[in-house]
Amino acid sequence: MGDWAGYLVLILEGAWVTVRLTVMGCALALVVAFVAGLGRIAPWAPVRWLATAYIEFFRGTSIFVQLFWIYFVLPMTGVSLGAMEAGVLALGLNVGAYGAEVVRGAILAVPNDQREATVALNMTGWQRLRHVILPQALPLMLPTFGNNAIELLKATAVVSLISLADMTFQGQIVRSQTGNTIVPFLTILVLYFLMSLAIAGAIGWLERRVTRGLDGVR
Amino acid sequence: MDNPIIRIHDLKKSFGPLTVIDGLSFDVQRGEKLALIGPSGSGKTTILRMLMTLETISGGRIEVCGEPLYQMRRNGAEVPADEAHLHKMRRHIGMVFQHFNLFPHKSVLDNITLAPILTQGAKRAEAEKQARELLEMVGLADKAGSMPSQLSGGQKQRVAIARALALKPEIMLFDEVTSALDPELVEEVLEVMKRLADETDMTMLLVTHEMGFAREFADRVLFFDKGRICEQGTPEQIFTNPAQDRTRTFLRKIIAAGHRV
Ligand SMILES: Nc1ncnc2c1ncn2[C@@H]1O[C@H](COP(=O)(O)OP(=O)(O)O)[C@@H](O)[C@H]1O
Ligand SMILES: [Mg+2]
């Protein structure tokens, strides 16, 4: 007993794993969300089908199952991933599927007037998207992206099921070693909450940045 | 005289079961100022939108600068136009919209320079120089750094005109560009358009309910009804001595609604 400092280090090590999972998972989710979200509204039907299939599949099955497939089943096909990679991949693909719908919705929410102006100014499809549509869609996406990121943070705990020593996993270890439930679980509760506050703060800051000058537009 | 810049032949447009334009034909000469008038729903906007390739056509043919807009030649045969062909043809045409459609996230200056830089490879410095000249021309030299949300409707529309002019189109389409404006802001926009009409040799097609302005502005007035030209002529003919009953009825209604003729 009394070695709480050592136990706290264990939990902080787990917290670091959770932070890395969250950051990398969000990065992957963001990329995937844009690729699949743009794919959903692409002018080519096969691309739309592919994007739709991905989104429906990953929203329609649980992240537990997805993680088990990536970590336990994928190696049977010769693709073997470490626990961290598998965790990031499962989180990114799962949350990316939700993000894709956000991207699509935000792009479609930009008034058609704007698209017509870009046609009248003879911009190409990519120029329209890059310079006119996306800059206006981004502020619409950010609040939901913030929620998605927090969902992803909360979902990181599933990786303890593949024995990755994230914060929840370490909390369990400390609990079983000390016999004390309240202290480790209260610690991780506070840490999770601080992390989600940090995410909300970062998104709020981003929102203020990207909406600068757009005030009073809608 | 027989080399029209726009040639419309047997043009058709339907939205589902609704036929909006039904066998329309007319030519526009280079430099001509044309006013399109007619009751709401007669298809005026649709015609401009088809010229701007914002709407597909259901049949017939539009030629711009001697080339078909919606067809192209491939291996000696005429096939439906692809995006590259439309892109090439759009260089001839610019459009100003009823609701301005400025880019809200870009400053006035950037609204004007964006397309020249992206689509004509203009250097930023020269694009900005030209944009400032255009702003000067529309009386907004001091607004280059403003955001669209800081402008009045009349100012927004003048920026939109400058933005369209920046690409130096040979043909400009104006769709009820003063209809969304408070009455006291209409004049400042019309003044700019009048100056354009007087000082440039651009071909201009104007859809308007401002009959007084159409009269001053136009070389020729087309009166539309139900997707067809019901009557056309000089402003003098149409406004003082219309031949058709429908034209007379329309003009009477418009005067009753408070528009000047
Ligand atoms: N996208 C559309 N879908 C269905 N109907 C349309 C569409 N655009 C225009 N219309 C119909 O076409 C007709 C002509 O419209 P429009 O060209 O806007 O007339 P105008 O500009 O002369 O008032 C109207 O009956 C209108 O309701
Ligand atoms: Mg109209």
What is the full per-residue pLDDT of chain A (218 aa) written as tens digits?
457 888 999 999 999 999 999 999 999 999 999 999 999 999 899 999 999 999 999 999 999 999 999 999 988 998 888 999 999 999 999 999 999 999 999 999 999 999 999 999 999 999 999 999 999 999 999 999 999 999 999 999 999 888 899 999 999 999 999 999 999 999 999 999 999 999 999 999 999 888 765 654 44
DSSP string for chain A? ---HHHHHHHHHHHHHHHHHHHHHHHHHHHHHHHHHHHHHT-SSHHHHHHHHHHHHHHHHS-HHHHHHIIIIIGGGGT----HHHHHHHHHHHHHHHHHHHHHHHHHHHS-HHHHHHHHHTT--HHHHIIIIIHHHHHHHHHHHHHHHHHHHHHHGGGGGGGT---HHHHHHHHHHHH--SHHHHHHHHHHHHHHHHHHHHHHHHHHHHHTTT-TT--
**Tokens standing for A76?**
């049977």
8 Å CB contact between A86 and A67: yes
The 10s digit of each residue's pLDDT in B50-59 is 999 999 999 9
The average pLDDT across B105-114 equals: 97
| The residue type at B213 | F
Helix (H) or strand (E) holding B37, with range, is strand B33-37
Amino acid B260: pLDDT:
59
Q: Which residues have a Cβ under 8 Å from the Cβ of A172 and sit 6 or more positions away?
A: A160, A184
Three-state DSSP state, B182: coil
DSSP collapsed to 3 states, A61-105 = CCHHHHHHHHHHHHHHHCCCCCHHHHHHHHHHHHHHHHHHHHHHH
Secondary structure class of B17 (helix, strand, coil): coil
Rounded Cα distance between A32 and A61, Å, is 17
Judged on CB neighbours under 10 Å (0-12, 13-18, 19+), B183 is exposed
- C-alpha torsion sign, points A182, A184, A187, A189: negative
Q: Which helix (H) or strand (E) holds B222?
A: strand B220-225
Task: Point out which residues pair with B13 in neighbouring strands.
Answer: B21
Query: ∠ at Cα B241 (B236, B243), nearest 5°?
Result: 120
Quote the pLDDT of residue A217. 44
CB-based contacts of A170: which residues, under 8 Å, 6+ apart? Answer: A10, A11, A13, A14, A15, A188
The residue of chain A with its CA nearest to that of B112 is A121
Closest CA to B64 of B138, B168, B166, B171: B171
Contact at CB, B149 and A214, closer than 8 angstroms: yes
Is the per-residue pLDDT at B144 higher than 80? yes
For residue A215, what are its two tokens?
């005030």
Tell me what the mean pLDDT of segment B123-128 comes to: 96
Q: Please name the residue whose Cα sits nearest to atom 4 of ligand 1.
A: B15
Distance CA A63, CA B57 (A): 48
* Residue A91 CB neighbours (<10 A): 27
Chain A residues with beta carbon closer than 8 angstroms to that of B124:
none
The number of the ligand 1 atom at minimal distance from the alpha carbon of B47 is 17
Q: Which of B114, B149, B167 sits opposite A216 (nearest CB)?
A: B149
Chain B touched by A109 (CB under 8 Å): no
Is the C-alpha dihedral spanning B135, B139, B142, B143 positive or negative? negative
Q: Which residue of B has its CA nearest to A134?
A: B105
Distance B44 CA to ligand 2 centre (A): 6
- Give the number of other Cβ atoms within 10 Å of residue A44's Cβ: 9
pLDDT for B257 equals: 78
Domain that holds residue A162: 2-215
pTM of the model: 0.88
Residue keyed to tokens 């509204």:
A41
Closest C-alpha to A160, from A61, A49, A50, A83: A83
Tens digits of per-residue pLDDT, B188-226? 999 999 999 999 999 999 999 999 999 999 999 999 999
At residue B88, does pLDDT exceed 90? yes
Is A130 touching B (CB cutoff 8 A)?
A: no
Contacts of A132 (CB under 8 A, 6+ apart): A114, A115, A117, A118, A123, B103
> Would the pLDDT of B137 be above 60?
yes
Q: Residues B89-102: pLDDT tens digits?
A: 999 999 999 999 99
β-bridge mates for residue B172, sequence order = B94, B204
CA A101 distance to own-chain centroid:
13
Contact flag A116-B101 (C-beta cutoff 8 Å): yes
Q: How many CB pairs under 8 A join A and B?
A: 68
Question: Helix crossing, A182-210 with A134-155: angle to 10°?
Answer: 180
* CATH number of the domain to which A158 belongs: 1.10.3720.10
Per-chain mean pLDDT for chain B: 94
Q: What is the pLDDT of residue B136?
A: 96
Inter-chain residue contact B54 with A132, CB threshold 8 Å: no
Compute the distance between CA of residue A206 and CA of residue B74 in angstroms, rounded to an integer. Answer: 50
Pocket of ligand 1 contains residue B20 by CB under 6 Å: yes
- How many other CB atoms are there within 10 angstroms of residue A94's CB atom? 24
State the pLDDT at residue A115: 97
**Number of domains making up chain A:** 1
Whether B105 and A213 lie within 8 Å, measured CB to CB: yes
Cα–Cα distance for residue pair B182/B80, rounded to 1 Å:
42
